[in-house]
Amino acid sequence: MGKRIKDALILFAITLVAGIGLGAAYAVTKEPIAQAEYNKTQAAYMEVFEDADHFEQLEDFDSAEATEAAIDELEEQGLSDSTITPEDCTVDDCQVAYDASGEEVGYVITVTSSAGYGGDITLSVGIQDDDTVNGYSITTINETAGLGMNAKEEGFSSQFDDKQVDFFTVTKSGSTSDEQIDAISGATITSKAVTSAVDVAIAYDETLDEGGEE
| pLDDT tens sequence across 178-212 | 999 999 999 999 999 999 999 999 999 999 987 64
Rounded Cα–Cα distance for residues 16 and 136 (Å)? 47
Q: What is the reported pLDDT for 213?
A: 43
Domain ranges of the chain: 54-209
Q: What is the reported pLDDT for 134?
A: 97
Read off the amino acid at residue 92. Answer: D
What pTM value is reported for the model? 0.81
Rounded Cα–Cα distance for residues 140 and 122 (Å)? 5
Inter-residue contact 33 to 40 (CB < 8 Å) = no
Length of the chain: 214
Rounded Cα–Cα distance for residues 132 and 134 (Å)? 6
| pLDDT tens sequence across 117-172 | 999 999 999 999 999 999 999 999 999 999 999 999 999 999 999 999 999 999 99
Write out the E strands in 23-155.
54-57, 89-98, 104-116, 119-128, 133-140
Read off the amino acid at residue 166. Answer: D
Inter-residue contact 55 to 108 (CB < 8 Å) = yes
3-state secondary structure of 180: strand
